A = this chain, B = another copy of it.
Amino acid sequence: MTPTAMEELRRRLAQVSDLDAAGSLLSWEQETMMPPEAARVRGLQLATLAGLAHELFTDARTGDLLDAARPADDTEEAIVRVARRDHGKATRLPTTFVEERTRAQNEAHHAWIEARTSSDFGAFAPHLSTMMDLARREADLLGYEDHPYDALLDTYEPGMRASQVRAVFDDLRDRTLPLLRRITAAGDAADYSVLTRSFPYDAQKAFAWDVAGRAFGLSGDFARQDESAHPFQSNFSRSDLRITTRVQDYWPTCCFGTWHETGHAMYERGVSERWERTPVSRGASLGVHESQSRMFENLLGRSLPFWERYFPELQKVAPEVTDGLDAAALYRAVNRVQPSLIRVEADEVTYNFHTLLRFELELGLLEGTLSVKELPEAWNAKMKEYLGLDVPDDAQGVLQDIHWSAGLIGYFPTYTLGNLLSVQLLEAAQRDPAVAAGVANAEYGPLLAWLVTNVHQHGRSLTPGELTEQATGRPLTADPYVAYLHTKYGDIYELN
C-alpha cells in the first residue's frame, strides 16, 4: 500500500531525528570519553551525519510532502507547522552560503582560541568582522520586518523581537543596578571558606547526582552523568538523557552545575511521547530551556528550604565541609554577590549585566554603529559602568566567550530571558497551594508535575511567547525576577 503524504513525511522526519540523535551521541561521546586520536575521523563522521540530515530535510520531496500532508489531529498539525517553519528557514540559506559560513566559523574558532591564549583581540578582529558580515547576510536571507537582529534571534527564541528584548532588558537594568549598588555598598563580612573545604571529587559527583535524583527526579533508568571540560546536557530521546559535570576544589561548581543540567534534562524528559522522533520533540527555545536549568540551579538549589532539607545529607557525605555550620550558613555562603569579570562564574544579581552588555554590543555591531575595532573599548566601558570593574586584558574581557567565534549572534539574550522566565513560571506555579507548600519544604513533586503540564509536555508545539502567556497568564516581564532579587538579597544583605 502506498503511504500517504503524512505517513511519508513522518517517516522522513523520524529519519532526520535519528540522524540528529546519532550526531548528538557522537558529540557527547567525543566530549566525555573518546580516545584523543579519534578526533579527526570523528569530525568527518559528524559532518556526514549533519550533511545527510540536512539533505534529507531540505530536499524538494520534503517540501512537496509538507504541502501535501493532511494532519489527522493536533499532534500532526503541530508536527507539520514546526517542520514547515524549520524547512522554510533551512531552505532560505543556500548551500553555498552554509558552506562559506562553516569554513569561516572553523577559521574564526581557531583564531579565537589563539587570540584568547595570547589575549590579543587584534588577531581575532578580522574573523569577527567576517562573522558579523555573515550574520547580516544571514539576516537578509532569512528575512525580517523590524530589525536584522530579529532574524538571528528567531533561531534561538522563535517569535522574539529585538525591540521586546531591549524593552525588558532596559527595565531589568534600571531596576536591578540600584540593588547591586546597595549590595556592594553594604559590604560583606560572610565567611566563604566553606566553599573550598575538602570535598573528594567522587563524593562531590555522587552527592550532586544523588540529590538530582531525589530532589528533581533524574534517574539512572533514563539518564547518566559523566565528566567533561564544559558541562552540558544532551539527549538522544526522552529516555536517553545525558548530563555532564566537572569537579574542582570549589565544590559548588559540581553541585550547582549538575542541578543546572538536570533542569535541562528534565525538560526534555517531560516532552510528550507523542512528539517522539519529530522536530517538535525538543524544548521550545533556548530561553525556555534556560528557565528550567536556572530554576533547578538557583531558585530551588540556592534556596533556604532546599538546604534545610539537604544539609543533613551533605553532612553525611562531606563532614569536613559542614563542620561547625548549619543550613542557614551554607545557604548564605552559596549566595554570595560579587561583581566579577567572567560571565559563567557570575551570581544571580550580576549575571544579567553580562548578557545585557553583550546584547547591546551585538546590536551596535549589527547596525554598524559600533565597529569591531572599537569593541574592546566599548566592552570595558560597560563592565566599568555596570559592574564597576576594570578589565585587565581581553582574555578576561571581550574574548572570554566562544559564541561569537562560532557565529552565534543573538544567542546571549536567551540566558537572561531564561532567568526572567524562571521566576515568572515559579511564581505562576505557586498559585497552586500544593506547589507552594512543596517548594517551601523542598518537596518538588507537585512543582515538577506543574512544569510537565504547563511547560515540558508541549515541546516546540508552542512558541516561547505562547507558552509564557498560557503558563503564567501574561507576556514575559522583568517584574517577578526584580521582586525575587530584592526580596532574597535584601534579606541576605540586610538592606530592608
Which residues of A are in contact with B by a Cβ distance under 8 Å?
14-15, 18-19, 21-23, 25-26, 29, 33-38, 40-42, 44-45, 48-49, 51-52, 220-224, 236-237, 239-241, 276-277
B37 x A236 contact (CB < 8 A): no
- By beta carbon, the residue of chain B nearest A28 is B29
Would you give 26 A-B contacts (Cβ < 8 Å), ordered by A?
A14-B48, A18-B48, A18-B49, A19-B48, A19-B49, A19-B52, A21-B45, A22-B22, A22-B25, A22-B26, A22-B49, A35-B221, A35-B222, A35-B224, A35-B239, A37-B240, A38-B236, A38-B237, A38-B239, A38-B240, A40-B239, A41-B236, A41-B237, A41-B276, A42-B237, A44-B277
A41 x B222 contact (CB < 8 A): no
Contacts of A239 in B (CB 8 A): 35, 37-38, 40-41
Smallest beta-carbon distance A463→chain B, Å: 26
Contacts of A241 in B (CB 8 A): 35
Supposing A25-B26, A236-B41 touch, asked if A224 and B33 sit within 8 A by C-beta, the answer is yes
Contacts of A223 in B (CB 8 A): 35
CA distance A237 to B48 in the complex (A): 14
Smallest beta-carbon distance A30→chain B, Å: 10
CA distance A224 to B220 in the complex (A): 22
Smallest beta-carbon distance A434→chain B, Å: 28
CA distance A29 to B42 in the complex (A): 15
A34 x B277 contact (CB < 8 A): no
Smallest beta-carbon distance A200→chain B, Å: 17
CA distance A35 to B221 in the complex (A): 5
- By beta carbon, the residue of chain B nearest A55 is B15
B41 x A240 contact (CB < 8 A): yes
* Among candidates B37, B48, B220, residue contacting A221 with C-beta atoms closer than 8 Å: B37
Contacts of A237 in B (CB 8 A): 38, 41-42, 45
Smallest beta-carbon distance A19→chain B, Å: 7
Supposing A25-B29, A48-B14 touch, asked if A34 and B221 sit within 8 A by C-beta, the answer is no
B221 x A14 contact (CB < 8 A): no
Supposing A35-B224, A220-B35, A222-B35 touch, asked if A45 and B18 sit within 8 A by C-beta, the answer is yes
Contacts of A22 in B (CB 8 A): 22-23, 25-26, 45, 49
- By beta carbon, the residue of chain B nearest A36 is B221
Contacts of A221 in B (CB 8 A): 35-37
Return the 9 tightest CB-CB contacts between A and B, nearest first. A38-B240, A18-B48, A41-B237, A37-B239, A18-B45, A37-B222, A22-B22, A38-B239, A35-B222
CA distance A15 to B54 in the complex (A): 14
Smallest beta-carbon distance A224→chain B, Å: 6
Contacts of A34 in B (CB 8 A): 240
